[in-house]
Structure 1
Amino acid sequence: MIVKYLEKTYEPVKVDDVVYGVSVDRIYAVESSAFPSYEEIKKLPNKVLLWCGTRSSNLLRHLHKGFMPAVCHLPVPGYMFGRAIVCSDAAAEAARYGYTAVDRPEGYLVLAVASLGEEIKEITGTPGAEDVKSLEEKKLGVKGVGRKTTDESEHLTWRDDVKVPCGKLVPSGNEDGPLEYNEFAVYDPKQVRCQTRRGR
């Protein structure tokens, strides 16, 4: 399932004349006391298996301290929802945060089970500072709708009602949105649990 999810939601990136792809080197199942237990997570509503990208230098911090919300609000992907933990249903989006390069081709993608809570707010544009403050205070689950989304007809339901949005990438209809791919934001670390895989 992991490889299928990766292949369907990743798109090659072209920089000048070089096309960058992705392949699986190793898959790790991770247990860390820094994250809520699976028993805790499985009781929560609206659970989704999502991709999170991270620098290699940050991976040990995540395993030691868990996912920590971003510390700033910027009107750019990954930061536009304020102090949130941001993941995506597109491996293509998450891979950008691995900051790999020709001289360091290995990066990490983290698969996280995230509970989006009882109420999910969909956002198609760039939220203003007041909107972000309200989201942080209410701790709503947020879906930032990208210009591309995963084909819902191909989504799966995994154990304990965890949704796996592993459909191929298709136009979402939100052509003027600031995000290329969907982003999901949660504000409470107790709503996110990770499993990790290493890619190259």
Structure 2
Amino acid sequence: MFKKFQDVFQSIDNHKLLWHGSRLSNVIGILSKGLRVAPPEAPNNGYMFGKGIYFADSVSKSANYCWTTPQNPKGILILAEVALGTLYEAREAEDLTYTTLKITKGCDSTLGVGRMAAPEENYETMKDGVVVPIGEFVSSECNGSLLYNEFIVYREEQVKLRYLVSLNFLYDDEDVKVEET
């Protein structure tokens, strides 16, 4: 099983370090089984680009999915190495699967293009070749429905968990602030 995962992961290029936010209650399952694609029988609401594993190049976008409250301010974010391969750029909602994406578009993953993004010339590349999107976000050429980029893969084998970031969300009357723990 691990060899199959490794073979698929290494056979796909375009690796990026991306953020994934999830409820604290999901972390044990994620650490024991990895990030999973929702099963076919799960309701299909809330998946703008089909059932897949969603990532962002914006930490604040992913932090929204921690679903913290003033009473439960602890959040966990995951930085994962994602093997994106060839990206299909989508500007509006589309119900996609890996099979339809590969057959009809020749792509391995989806990029939901946001209206704000860090310029690619600011990206850093780690020694192992993984690209890290960094930099101040600026307006992009896209005027679609997403504010920030979303990256979606439809196979669990395209994801390698790299870092777990623990955060405390600090609530006051008006804003939420975040501190690393």
Range class of TM-score, shorter chain: 0.7 to 0.9
Q: Could you say which structure has the higher strand fraction?
A: 2
**SS of residue in 1 equivalent to 2:37:** coil
**SS of residue in 2 equivalent to 1:61:** helix
Residues 88 and 107 of structure 2 are in contact (CA less than 8 Å); yes or no, is this contact kept in structure 1? Answer: no
Structure 1 partner of 2:33? 65
1:126 to 85, 93, 102: 93
Q: Unaligned 5+ residue runs, structure 1?
A: 1-32
Percent identity of paired positions between Structure 1 and Structure 2: 34
Q: TM-score if structure 1 supplies the norm length?
A: 0.71
Amino acid across the alignment from 2:53: I
1:141 to 87, 94, 109: 109
Alignment map for 1:164-175 (pairs within 5 Å): 164-175=132-143
Q: TM-score if structure 2 supplies the norm length?
A: 0.78
Amino acid across the alignment from 1:109: L
Deviation track 1:98-153 (CA, whole Å, cap 9, x = no partner) reads 00111111101100000012x211111222x4xx2422777721111011111222
Pairing 1:184–2:155 present: no
Number of residues paired by the alignment?
Answer: 157
Alignment map for 1:35-184 (pairs within 5 Å): 36=5, 41=9, 44-70=12-38, 71-74=42-45, 79-117=47-85, 119-127=86-94, 129=95, 132-133=96-97, 134-135=100-101, 140-175=108-143, 177-184=144-151
User: Compared with structure 1, are the counterparts of its residues 87 and 106 closer, same or farther at alpha carbon in structure 2 (3 Å cutoff)?
Assistant: same
Deviation track 1:43-70 (CA, whole Å, cap 9, x = no partner) reads 5310000000011000001011111113
Structure 2 Cα separation of the partners of residues 150 and 89 of structure 1 = 8
Residues 118 and 138 of structure 2 are in contact (CA less than 8 Å); yes or no, is this contact kept in structure 1? Answer: yes
Q: Unaligned 5+ residue runs, structure 2?
A: 169-181
Structure 2 Cα separation of the partners of residues 55 and 183 of structure 1 = 18
